[in-house]
Structure 1
Amino acid sequence: MFAYIIKRLLYAIPILIGVNLITFMLFFMVNTPDDMARSQLGAKQVTPEMIEAWKVERGYDKPLFVNGEADGISTVTDTLFVQESLKLFTFNFGFSDAKRDIGSDIKERMMPSLAIALPTFAIALITNISLALLLVLFRGSMLDTSMMIVAVMIMSISSLFYIIAGQVLLSKIYHWVPISGFESGWGGVKFIILPIMIGVFAGIGAGVRWYRSIFLEQINQDYVRTARAKGLSELRVLFGHVLSNGMLPILTGVVVVIPTLFMGSLIMESFFGIPGLGSYTIDAINSQDFAIVKAMVFLGSVLYIIGLILTDISYTIFDPRVKLG
Structure 2
Amino acid sequence: MIEYAARRLAGLLGVWFLAIVITFVAVQFVPGDPIMALLSDRSGDADLEARLRADYGLDRPLPVQFLDYLAHIADGTFGLSFRFANTTVFDVISGGLLISPILAITAILIAVPLGVVLGVFAAQRANSWADTAVILGLVSGISIPNFAMAAFLVYLLSIKWSVLPVAGWGTPQHLVMPVLILVIPPTAYVARLTRTYMLEVLQQDFVRTARAKGLRERLVIYRHALKNTFVPLLTTVGIIFGGLLSGTFVVETIFNIPGLGRLAIESIFARDYPVTMTIVLLFTMFYSIINLIVDLAYTALDPRIRLTNTKA
Q: Is contact 1:113-1:264 (8 Å) kept?
A: no
TM-score normalised per structure 1: 0.84
Structure 1 residue 87: Cα displacement: 3.6
Residue 191 of structure 1 is matched in structure 2 by 174
Residue 189 of structure 2 is matched in structure 1 by 206
1:277–1:311 CA distance, 2 compared to 1 (3 A): same
How far does the alpha carbon of each residue in 1:176-196 deviate from its partner, in whole angstroms, 9 at most, with x for none?
22211122xxxx122222222
Residue 231 of structure 1 is matched in structure 2 by 214
Query: Can you give the 5+ residue segments of structure 2 that lack an aligned partner in the other structure?
Result: none
Residue type matched to 2:13 in 1?
I
Residue correspondence of structure 1 range 114-125 to structure 2 within 5 A: 114-125=101-112
Whole-Å Cα distance in 1 between the matches of residues 247 and 58 of structure 2? 29
Choose which of 92, 96, 113 in structure 1 pairs with 2:81: 96
TM-score normalised per structure 2: 0.87
Structure 1 residue 289: Cα displacement: 0.7
Structure 1 residue 224: Cα displacement: 1.4
Residue type matched to 2:17 in 1?
I
Residue 83 of structure 1 is matched in structure 2 by 68
Q: SS of 2:97's equivalent?
A: helix
Question: Is 2:129 aligned against 1:154?
Answer: no
Whole-Å Cα distance in 1 between the matches of residues 55 and 266 of structure 2? 22
Residue 7 of structure 1 is matched in structure 2 by 7
Q: SS of 2:178's equivalent?
A: helix
Q: SS of 1:162's equivalent?
A: helix
Choose which of 281, 289, 296 in structure 2 pairs with 1:298: 281
Query: Can you give the 5+ residue segments of structure 1 that lack an aligned partner in the other structure?
Result: 65-77
Q: SS of 1:8's equivalent?
A: helix
Question: Is 2:47 aligned against 1:60?
Answer: no
Residue 167 of structure 1 is matched in structure 2 by 154
Residue type matched to 2:136 in 1?
I
How far does the alpha carbon of each residue in 1:104-141 deviate from its partner, in whole angstroms, 9 at most, with x for none?
44442134335533432222222111111111111121
Whole-Å Cα distance in 2 between the matches of residues 223 and 59 of structure 1? 66
Whole-Å Cα distance in 1 between the matches of residues 244 and 138 of structure 2? 24
Q: Is contact 1:181-1:191 (8 Å) kept?
A: yes
| Aligned residue pairs, count | 306
1:315–1:115 CA distance, 2 compared to 1 (3 A): closer
Whole-Å Cα distance in 2 between the matches of residues 123 and 12 of structure 1? 27
Q: Is contact 1:285-1:293 (8 Å) kept?
A: yes
Structure number with the bigger relative contact order (C-alpha 8 A, sep ≥ 6) is 2
Residue 307 of structure 1 is matched in structure 2 by 290
Whole-Å Cα distance in 2 between the matches of residues 154 and 147 of structure 1? 10
Whole-Å Cα distance in 2 between the matches of residues 93 and 263 of structure 1? 22
Residue correspondence of structure 1 range 259-270 to structure 2 within 5 A: 265-270=248-253
Choose which of 121, 128, 136 in structure 2 pairs with 1:134: 121
Q: Is contact 1:256-1:311 (8 Å) kept?
A: no
Whole-Å Cα distance in 2 between the matches of residues 261 and 48 of structure 1? 45
